[in-house]
Chains A and B, each alone.
Chain A
Amino acid sequence: DIQMTQSPSSLSASVGDRVTITCRASQTISGYLNWYQQKPGKAPKLLIYDVSSLQSGVPSRFSGSGSGTDFTLTISSLQPEDFATYHCQQSYSSPRTFGQGTKLEIK
C-alpha cells in the first residue's frame, strides 16, 4: 500500500491567514492526488483533484500543487467557513489511501 503522510496534524490560524498543508506519498503517485474538506458530522467534500484542478463550486482561494511524492494544499486567505479537517488521498493505485488528516482550528 502507498502510505500518505500529512503535516501538520493540526494547525491554528486566524481569519485572513495564508495556510499550507503538506501531503507526502511513500512512492510516486504521478498526478493523482486529491484533497477533501470535512466538517464535523458531515461527509467529506472534494476540493481539488489531479493535484491542482479545482472541483466545480470550490472557491479560488483554495489551490493545490506538487508532483511525484510531495504535494501541498494552500488556502490563500482563510475564511470562517474554512475551519475544518483536510484529507489528502492518492488515486494512483488501490487501495486508494488517505492521509491521516489535518485539523485546521481558529486561533
Chain B
Amino acid sequence: EEQLVQSGAEMKKPGESLKISCKGSGYSFINYWIGWVRQMPGKGLEWMGIIYPSDSDTRYSPSFQGQVTISADKSINTAYLQWSSLKASDTATYYCARFGGSSGWYSGFDIWGQGTMVTVSS
C-alpha cells in the first residue's frame, strides 16, 4: 500500500525548535515530489512548499520562505518540516502529500499523510 506516515502530535513553547517527519512507503519515494500543507484551526489549506527527494530540489511559497525549512533523507524515504523558533501562530495541523511520478509535474496531491498537529503555547 502506498502511504505517507507522519510523526505524532507536538506541544511546544514559543521560541522552541521543532522538526516533524513524513515517511513514505509502498512506492518509489525518490520519483515523487513531497509537499507540505498547513491548516490552521477551522481554516483552509495553505501550500507551504515542496521537495524532490531525489536531489533535494526545494521550492517555497513566499508566505513561508524563511519561516520553515523543508528537507528530505532519501536513504530512509523521509521528508521533514522544521522550525528554528516557533510562534503561537504556528499552531496548526501540518500535512505532507505527494505529487508527480507518472502523473507528471502538474498533478494534484494524490496521497496524503494523516497530519501532524502542532500546538505552540506558553
Q: Are B44 and A44 in contact (CB under 8 A)?
A: no
- Near B by CB (< 8 A), chain A positions 50-104 give 50, 55, 87, 89, 91-92, 94-101
Please report the C-alpha to C-alpha distance between residue A57 and residue B122 in the assembled complex, in whole angstroms. 44
Number of A-B contacts (CB under 8 A): 64
Q: Are A95 and B63 in contact (CB under 8 A)?
A: yes
Q: Are A43 and B95 in contact (CB under 8 A)?
A: yes
Q: Are B47 and A97 in contact (CB under 8 A)?
A: yes
| Chain A 3-14 interface mask (CB, 8 Å, partner B; 1/0) | 000000000000
A46 in contact (CB, < 8 A): yes
Number of interface residues of B (CB under 8 A): 25
| Chain A 35-51 interface mask (CB, 8 Å, partner B; 1/0) | 01010000111100110
Question: Which of A49, A98, A100 has a CB less than 8 Å from the CB of B47?
Answer: A98
Q: Are A89 and B46 in contact (CB under 8 A)?
A: no
B residues within 8 A CB of A55? 110
Please report the C-alpha to C-alpha distance between residue A100 and residue B49 in the assembled complex, in whole angstroms. 18
Question: Which of A32, A46, A98 has a CB less than 8 Å from the CB of B44?
Answer: A98
Q: Are A99 and B106 in contact (CB under 8 A)?
A: no
B residues within 8 A CB of A45? 112
Of all chain B residues, the one with the shortest Cβ separation from A99 is B44
Output the least CB separation between B111 and chain A (Å).
8
Which residues of B are in contact with A by a Cβ distance under 8 Å?
A: 35, 37, 44-47, 49-50, 59, 61-63, 95, 97, 99, 103, 106-110, 112-115
A–B Cβ pairs within 8 angstroms, 20 of them: A34-B109, A36-B45, A43-B95, A43-B97, A43-B113, A43-B115, A44-B97, A45-B112, A49-B107, A55-B110, A91-B106, A91-B107, A94-B50, A94-B59, A95-B47, A95-B49, A95-B63, A98-B37, A100-B44, A101-B45
Q: A32-B106, A98-B37, A101-B45 are in contact. List 6 more A-B contacts (CB 8 A).
A: A1-B61, A43-B97, A43-B113, A49-B110, A91-B99, A94-B47
Which residues of A are in contact with B by a Cβ distance under 8 Å?
A: 1, 32, 34, 36, 38, 43-46, 49-50, 55, 87, 89, 91-92, 94-101
